[in-house]
Structure 1
Amino acid sequence: MKVFQCGHCQHPLFFESYSCENCGHESGYRSMDRMMLTFDPAHREQVSDREGIRYKYCKNHHFDVCNWVVPAEEANDFCEACQLNRTIPNLSNEKNLEKWRNLEVAKHRLVYQLQKLGLNLPSKMQDPNGLCFDFVARQHNKSLMTGHASGVITILLREADSVLREQARLQMGEPYRTLIGHLRHEVGHYFWDRLVLPHTELLVEFRTIFGDERKDYGTALAEYYKTGAPVEWQENFISKYATSHPWEDWAETWAHYLHLMDMVETAHFFGLKVDPFHKQKSMRAKVTFDPYGEKSFKKIVNAAVPISFAVNSINRAMGIPDVYPFVINHGVVKKMSFIHSLMLSAQLY
């Protein structure tokens, strides 16, 4: 994520900021050019400090779940991120509102990243090949699960409950379980259908790297939950679950590719440098580039590894879990490089 600043006083702002803590001006994110706009709260209309142009907040701003803005003359009252919502929780339940807010923070960060990659995000409500989100409570339907199907990403509301999510993480034996992780994983399934499946040459290359996805998915998952991951799984996979089926390997690898890209972009905009008192040169990094414009994925991963080690070390000093508790092996780098090449390929845009 890039670093934002107030258009009135230049104070730094978070991506989720609704106002500047220094001068009090209201703030809103403009997705067109990834700019944070600010507005004088004394004015009844949102007129940007920098440009003097009128905007309006996304309709979901009313619920404090979205700080994005759209041009005042825009016919649609929802921003590009909120237009992807097909189902939101029942807001008559106050607990649901707070969970929805958590979901929207993660989803808006996901949309920011996908847009920066240049990926097209049509709403499924207007395009049958598009994408949409269902944020739902399981209630009496015990078969309802978090997942993806034909462009519909379903996220159970319980995932936005930190206590229940941690219980699920421990029960599943997972080192990491977050809302942004879920969203990045599930959207990976959607983009496999869009980016890989239609292209014969890419599909052949995918099968060489990830395996043949034509093997029965249900049978493969049942076998995984019965026997678990193979002993040597860390040699070629980013997680145990990635071993269950090539589709899941792709989705897990895709999610971690997005993790690393976000990590390195943030490090770049903060001017981070890792230069420890250690003889190993591979533990040094100075991120002087935006990864979204970098052709070499090797350069990206060489920056991500020292950064993640440094941040993990800081977390351990504070007695909290690692930010990134994963090992990026050579097999995973090869898979991520395949994904990065897709993002750089003009034929997909």
Structure 2
Amino acid sequence: MRLFHCDQCGHLVFFESVHCVNCGAALAYLPDCDDVGAMAASDADSPVAAPGPLWQRITTKASPSGQRYRMCGNRDQYQACNFAIPADAPFTLCSSCRQTLVLPDLSVTGNTLRWQKLESAKRRLYYTLARLGLHPDLPDWTPHYQFLADVPDQPVMTGHANGLITINIAEADDDERVRRRVALHEPYRTLLGHLRHESGHFFWDKLVRDGGELDSFRQLFGDERESYPQALQNYYANPPGYMQWSAQHVSAYASAHPWEDWAESWAHYLHMVDVLETAASYQTGLTMGEGSPLVTMADPFIQPAPSFEDMVAQWVPVTLLLNSLNRSLGQQDAYPFALSAGALQKLRYVHDIVRRPHPADNPAGNALAQPSAA
């Protein structure tokens, strides 16, 4: 995630910021111009019969001249969003919050905080997909979400089916998520990681299956037509050892089935572009030590897009620095992975698929697909 600056005072602000800590200006993320704006109340009349006051960006930098906004309806009531909506939009929720179709019961103690954490992670996913040109506002290209809680004899399984991503809200509790990570022998488990992984299943339908890439996919990842339930049953009954999966996969779970291999690789690629954008935003230059060349971080979203080789050359030193900083604070490695040649080949495949033109670039000719991957 890149850095942002307050329009009013120039102070550093962040994607999640709602107020500038330096000057107190109200802040909102403006999806229509991909920027965090400092907002001032507007006395103009609303062009639609929608609740909430109107706001205007303090500066017109990168914003349509005179554009007015309303805050997302989840901001004032729940402190669960910092996106703004164009004033003439016929809805009360922002483009990210409208993707959530089912909320947990917010009358249950703790569920509001769990939901807030999930929405925060989802907004980061929204941002990255938009920066990659995957058009999260187009109906046919928008995954939807339901955030559910376990009920007696009905555990909620996190997963994807037919364009709907389900997340068990228990994952928003740090202690429960760590318990599951340890029980499943996973090195990494986060809300954002879950969302990125499940979005990979959604975009497999769009970019691979419906994008005419099944043959190339099967050559590299294997045949996804093998029984998915049986593959998962085999995986959990006989977890693979490191030497069994590491040469060709980014994680142990990626070895369970070709769909999971893709989803894990997809999530990992989104990790890469987010971290590299952050490093580039800090104008970081890194070296591996005496005699090693200085590696300058480049924004992965610039045009023309950096090559995959350039991204990997930046990725290695920045993740080594990331882990070293964590160890200095007595924390576990933030990036507990070592990418093999086989895993890198699959990440390159994701890179190539994402960076080429796809049907969403021509919305008028894009028919609604019927996703099938679980």
Q: TM-score, normalised by structure 1?
A: 0.93
In the aligned structure 1, how far is the partner of 2:358 from the partner of 2:188?
Answer: 34
Structural RMSD (CA): 1.8
- Residue 222 of structure 1 corresponds to 233
Q: Determine which structure has the larger helix proportion and give its number.
A: 1
- Residue 34 of structure 2 corresponds to 34
Relative to 1, partners in 2 of residues 1:122 and 1:37: Cα closer, same or farther, differing over 3 Å? closer
> What is the aligned counterpart of 1:191 among 184, 203, 207?
203
Q: State the Cα deviation string for residues 17-46 of structure 1 (Å, max 9, x = none).
A: 011000001000011221111123697641
Q: Percent identity?
A: 38
What is the aligned residue count?
343
- Residue 242 of structure 1 corresponds to 254
Task: Tell me the SS of whatever aligns to 2:27.
Answer: strand
Please tell me whether the aligned partners of residues 197 and 266 of structure 2 are also in contact (alpha carbons under 8 angstroms): yes
Q: State the Cα deviation string for residues 123-163 of structure 1 (Å, max 9, x = none).
A: 7xx66x75210011112253420110011100001000011
Letter in 2 for 1:46: W
- Residue 285 of structure 1 corresponds to 295
> What is the aligned counterpart of 2:70 among 53, 56, 61?
56
Letter in 1 for 2:117: N
Relative to 1, partners in 2 of residues 1:122 and 1:4: Cα closer, same or farther, differing over 3 Å? closer
The structural deviation recorded for 1:84 is 0.3
In the aligned structure 1, how far is the partner of 2:251 from the partner of 2:54?
Answer: 49
Relative to 1, partners in 2 of residues 1:292 and 1:113: Cα closer, same or farther, differing over 3 Å? farther
- Residue 329 of structure 2 corresponds to 318
Residue 103 of structure 1 pairs with residue 115 of structure 2? no
Residue 298 of structure 1 pairs with residue 309 of structure 2? yes
In the aligned structure 2, how far is the partner of 1:147 from the partner of 1:232?
Answer: 25
In the aligned structure 2, how far is the partner of 1:40 from the partner of 1:7?
Answer: 11
Q: TM-score, normalised by structure 2?
A: 0.87
The structural deviation recorded for 1:337 is 1.0
Relative to 1, partners in 2 of residues 1:297 and 1:141: Cα closer, same or farther, differing over 3 Å? farther
Unaligned runs of 5+ in 1: none
Unaligned runs of 5+ in 2: 44-52, 61-65, 362-374
Q: State the Cα deviation string for residues 320-346 of structure 1 (Å, max 9, x = none).
A: 011111011111111111111111111
In the aligned structure 1, how far is the partner of 2:74 from the partner of 2:127?
Answer: 17
Relative to 1, partners in 2 of residues 1:299 and 1:160: Cα closer, same or farther, differing over 3 Å? same
Please tell me whether the aligned partners of residues 122 and 131 of structure 1 are also in contact (alpha carbons under 8 angstroms): no
Task: Tell me the SS of whatever aligns to 1:134.
Answer: strand
Letter in 2 for 1:285: V
Q: State the Cα deviation string for residues 179-237 of structure 1 (Å, max 9, x = none).
A: 0000000000000011101233x110000111111111111111111111253311111
In the aligned structure 1, how far is the partner of 2:30 from the partner of 2:330?
Answer: 37
Please tell me whether the aligned partners of residues 42 and 56 of structure 2 are also in contact (alpha carbons under 8 angstroms): no
In the aligned structure 2, how far is the partner of 1:197 from the partner of 1:306?
Answer: 35
In the aligned structure 1, how far is the partner of 2:270 from the partner of 2:54?
Answer: 36
Larger RCO of the pair (alpha carbons < 8 Å, separation 6+): 2
In the aligned structure 2, how far is the partner of 1:135 from the partner of 1:97?
Answer: 11
In the aligned structure 2, how far is the partner of 1:30 from the partner of 1:78?
Answer: 13
- Residue 136 of structure 1 corresponds to 148
> What is the aligned counterpart of 1:330 among 341, 355, 370?
341
In the aligned structure 1, how far is the partner of 2:358 from the partner of 2:301?
Answer: 20
Q: State the Cα deviation string for residues 262-293 of structure 1 (Å, max 9, x = none).
A: 01011111101112434455xx5211343454
Task: Tell me the SS of whatever aligns to 1:98.
Answer: helix
